[in-house]
Amino acid sequence: MTTASLSLVADIGGTNTRVALADGGVIREASVRRYRNDGFNGIDEVLARYMTDESVGPVAGACVAAAGPLRHGHIVMTNLFDADGQPWVIDEGRVSRATGAARVAILNDLQAQGQALGHIAPDHLHRVIDGPVEDGASMLVVGLGTGVNAAPVHNTPWGRVVPPSECGHVNLPAQTEEDLRLLRFLEALLAGRGEVAHAGVEEALSGRGLANLHAFAASEAGRDSSAASAEVLAALAQGEPVATHAARLYTRILAQTLADLALIHLPYGGIYLIGGMSQAMAPHFGNFGLTETFRRPRRVALMQNEFSVTVVADDYAALTGCAVYLANGGKG
């Protein structure tokens, strides 16, 4: 395949990596392939396999997004290891050698999602909290999946800027007696697992977070629970009371967290939720008061009048963000 004018883009998750080719900022959907990470020793091996599978020659540019902190131009994965037990490192040299690309960019996955905003088909956008949307204003992308994170999206005269963040580990909001019981429950639960006993928002809003909330709701009912998130969602669909309690807690904590983030970043261009948990929980947000909690009055009237929240249901959004970033001249 003649690929000298194409870009290669990749999205590395904890379990799978998606790879595709792009014409400018547009993904060639027929070129998308998914690889299980446990079959490889690093991103260079994944990309080399893709080049072979697709009969791809050297590409003009390459951009890789990964779920991890970006620092000094590279990402060290905390949940992917090679055969020698060393963590995968995502950097320009490995990507360039595997793809032949002279121009390489490495992004955090939330940064890639932020770059994609404005380039996602309307039928993949589902509004869950109505509100005004100001064209060209700052936005906020919030990831709810295996982990939790958020990043502001700023449109400037010099291009779009999406700073990296690790705000999934900020403290859990606690305003009621139940919130305080939940906080202490999570600390004890984590300590019992030999983990750091810090009740951050990720311990409530990620996939494992929903399971944690279900364990708490069960304890409040005098029961024990070791249900995984998929089991909780299945029970919720049946109207099971403990699962309903957990989902109500999830929705309230999410609304409080989004409101706090909105006041910090002032995303007049909208808040966008991405990730599997946002899609799984979206059908329940209306029943459990997402809007009402988000709009709860504060000293300033912003929360009552401003900001919208939209769920992004597009599996290729991170790939699109990588492609758009390269097409707009991004590098590094």
pLDDT single digits (tens) 246-272 = 999 999 999 999 999 999 999 999 999
| pLDDT surpassing 90 at residue 79 | no
Residue 172: its pLDDT value, please? 94
CA 302/CA 297 separation, integer angstroms: 9
Q: What is the CATH number of domain 7-115+316-327?
A: 3.30.420.40
Beta bridge partners of 272: 141, 310
Average pLDDT over residues 212-234: 96
Query: Tell me, what's the pLDDT at 321?
Result: 96
**Domain 122-313: assigned CATH number:** 3.40.367.20
What's the mean pLDDT when you consider all of the chain?
A: 93
Cβ atoms of 200 and 169 within 8 Å: the answer is: yes
Q: How far apart are CA 197 and CA 177, in angstroms?
A: 20
Could you tell me if 205 and 253 are in contact, meaning their C-beta atoms sit under 8 angstroms apart? yes
Residue 331 has pLDDT above 80, yes or no: no
pLDDT at 166: 84
Q: Is pLDDT above 60 for 7?
A: yes
Quick check: helix, strand or coil at residue 75?
A: strand
Is 85 a residue whose pLDDT tops 90?
A: no
In this prediction, residue 84 carries a pLDDT of 85
| Strand partners for 126 | 311
> How far is it, in rounded angstroms, from Cα 82 to Cα 40?
7
For residue 174, the Cα-to-chain-centroid distance in whole angstroms is 23
Q: How many CA atoms lie within 13 A of 71 on its CB side?
A: 6
Whether 140 shows a pLDDT value over 70: the answer reads yes
- Six-digit token pair at 145? 């999946």
Q: How far apart are CA 231 and CA 75, in angstroms?
A: 33
Residue 14 has pLDDT above 80, yes or no: no
Q: What share of the chain is helix, strand, coil (3-state, %, to 5)?
A: 40, 25, 35
* Span(s) in the chain for CATH 3.30.420.40: 7-115+316-327
Residue 182 has pLDDT above 90, yes or no: yes
Position 4 confidence tier, pLDDT thresholds 50, 70, 90: low
pTM (whole model) above 0.85: yes
Residues 6+ apart with CB under 8 A from 75: 66, 68, 69, 89, 90, 91, 106, 108
In this predicted structure, the answer to whether residue 177 has a pLDDT above a threshold of 80 is yes
Find the DSSP H helices in the chain. Answer: 43-53, 92-99, 109-116, 177-192, 202-205, 207-220, 229-237, 241-265, 276-285, 290-294, 302-305, 317-327
Q: How far apart are the first and last CA of the chain?
A: 27
Structure tokens at 131: 């509100």
